């Protein structure tokens, strides 16, 4: 049996009360109450529980100082990498431009610089003199204006001059006069005739005259000597090196001790 809705029952009671002037009969009241009780006993569906919001992620840990510094550092532009890669090349070119290149000396003077290492212990590397006489600042040129006289003295040595009773060597007209063979520190000048080849003796003498003592190969005074004896194309050096000539065959040189031509002896 279908139940009558409450609002229809209420409307019917109101109409009867208005028409008859009284309350509705008691038989009808329980029906309405029963309906109300029935309606109140209906289970009320429970409200759906709200879904829980997702938990917020934990805040990120702060970067260590060195990482933060690296992130905040300005990046090098990509176009600058090519420039930076060329820095080693620029550094090499710069060093080449500011470094003085060593001059390579050819001919007798170049060889003489190597041979002179055997003489530097007495005469010092720059020829300033020590146990042996000074060779720099024109000293050699003042003593031996002629290269032939110097060749003869270096070949024979001062002891041979003493044995030959030659009391001096070198130019007697130089300031201070000629040198006595054993006058400097009382030490003899060894003869290199048996220690060096004749072209080596010429080479070391060229080094002493033009490098240490400062003879100018372009000057009128020394140009002829330089071209003949000490220049890169020196014919005398080439003949001695090839064995085509020797000191004994060279005029004014010889292998026996002899006084300087300038002494008049």
CA 129 – CA 142 distance, rounded (Å): 15
Beta strands in 105-160 (DSSP E): none
Structural domain containing residue 213: 117-263
Rounded CA gap, 80 and 33, in Å? Answer: 94
State yes or no: pLDDT of 14 exceeds 90.
no
Instruction: Say whether pLDDT at 155 is over 90.
Output: yes
Looking at the domain assignment, is residue 150 inside a domain? yes
If residue 118 lies in a helix (H) or strand (E), which one and from where to where? none
Mean pLDDT of 32-42: 50
**CB neighbourhood size of 222 (10 A):** 18
| Dist. CA 233–CA 206, nearest whole Å | 13
pLDDT at position 50, please?
65
Alpha carbon distance 246, 254 (integer Å): 8
User: Does a structural domain hold residue 102?
Assistant: no
91 closest CA partner among 79, 101, 99: 99
Is 244 a domain residue? Answer: yes
Task: Kindly report the backbone phi and psi dihedral angles of residue 56, in degrees, each rounded to the nearest multiple of 5, phi listed first.
Answer: -70, 140
**What is the CATH classification number for the domain harbouring 167?**
1.10.760
Predicted local confidence at residue 2, as pLDDT: 60
State percent of the chain over pLDDT 70: 74
Give 20's pLDDT tier (boundaries 50, 70, 90): low
Assess if residue 67 is contained within a domain.
no
Please tell me which residue, 87 or 209, carries the higher pLDDT value: 209
CA gap 75, 119 in Å, rounded: 63
In a domain, 221, yes or no: yes
Bigger pLDDT: 50 vs 218: 218
Residues in the chain: 265
Whole-number Å distance between alpha carbons of 28 and 9: 9
* 172 pLDDT above the threshold of 50: yes
How many domains does the chain contain in total? 1
Residue 95, both tokens: 């060093």
Q: What is the DSSP string of 148-195?
A: HHHHHHHHH-HHHHHHTT---BS-TTSTT-PBPTT-STTPPPPP-TTT
The sign of the dihedral angle between the CA atoms of 197, 169, 226, 138 is positive
pLDDT band at 248 (very low <50, low <70, confident <90, very high): very high
The more confident residue out of 114 and 180 is 114
> If DSSP codes are grouped into helix, strand and coil, which group holds residue 265?
coil
Q: Are 208 and 122 in contact (CB under 8 A)?
A: no
Report which of residues 96 and 129 the model is more confident about.
129
The per-residue pLDDT for 153 is 92
Asked whether residue 51 is assigned to any structural domain, the reply reads no
Residues sharing a CB contact under 8 Å with residue 43, sequence separation 6 or more, in sequence order: none
Look at residue 252 and tell me if it is in a domain.
yes
State pLDDT tens for residues 183-193.
Answer: 677 778 888 99
Q: Is residue 64 part of a domain?
A: no
Contact call for residues 115 and 198 (beta carbons, < 8 A): no
Which has the higher per-residue pLDDT, 94 or 118? 118
pLDDT of residue 240: 94
The predicted pLDDT at position 13 comes to 80
Confidence of residue 223 (pLDDT cuts 50, 70, 90): very high
> In whole angstroms, what is the distance from residue 92 CA to residue 72 CA?
34
What lies within 8 Å, CB to CB, of 258 at 6+ separation is 152, 166
Q: What value does the mean pLDDT of the chain take?
A: 79
pLDDT at 90: 67
Q: Which of 210, 244, 191, 231 is closest to 108 using CA atoms?
A: 231
């Amino acid at each position: 049996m279908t139940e009558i809705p409450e609002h229809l029952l209420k409307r019917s009671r109101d109409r009867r009360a208005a028409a008859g002037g009284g309350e509705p009969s008691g038989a009808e009241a329980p029906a309405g109450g029963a309906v109300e009780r029935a309606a109140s006993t209906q289970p009320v569906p429970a409200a759906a529980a709200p879904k829980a919001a997702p938990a917020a992620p934990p805040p990120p840990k702060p970067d260590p100082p060195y990482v933060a510094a690296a992130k905040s550092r300005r990046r090098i532009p990509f176009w600058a990498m090519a420039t930076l890669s060329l820095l080693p090349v620029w550094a090499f070119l710069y060093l080449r431009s500011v470094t003085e290149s060593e001059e390579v000396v050819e001919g007798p003077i170049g060889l003489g610089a190597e041979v002179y290492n055997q003489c530097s212990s007495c005469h010092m590397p720059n020829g300033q003199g020590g146990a042996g006489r000074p060779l720099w600042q024109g000293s050699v040129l003042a003593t031996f204006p002629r290269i032939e006289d110097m060749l003869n003295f270096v070949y024979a040595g001062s002891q041979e001059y003493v044995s030959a009773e030659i009391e001096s060597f070198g130019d007697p007209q130089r300031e201070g006069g000629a040198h006595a063979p054993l006058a400097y520190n009382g030490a003899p000048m060894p003869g290199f005739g048996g220690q060096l080849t004749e072209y080596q003796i010429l080479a070391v003498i060229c080094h002493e005259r033009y490098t240490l003592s400062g003879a100018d190969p372009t000057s009128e005074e020394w140009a002829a000597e330089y071209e003949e004896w000490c220049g890169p194309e020196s014919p005398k050096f080439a003949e001695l090196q090839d064995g085509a000539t020797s000191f004994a065959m060279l005029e004014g040189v010889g292998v026996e001790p002899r006084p300087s031509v300038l002494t008049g002896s």
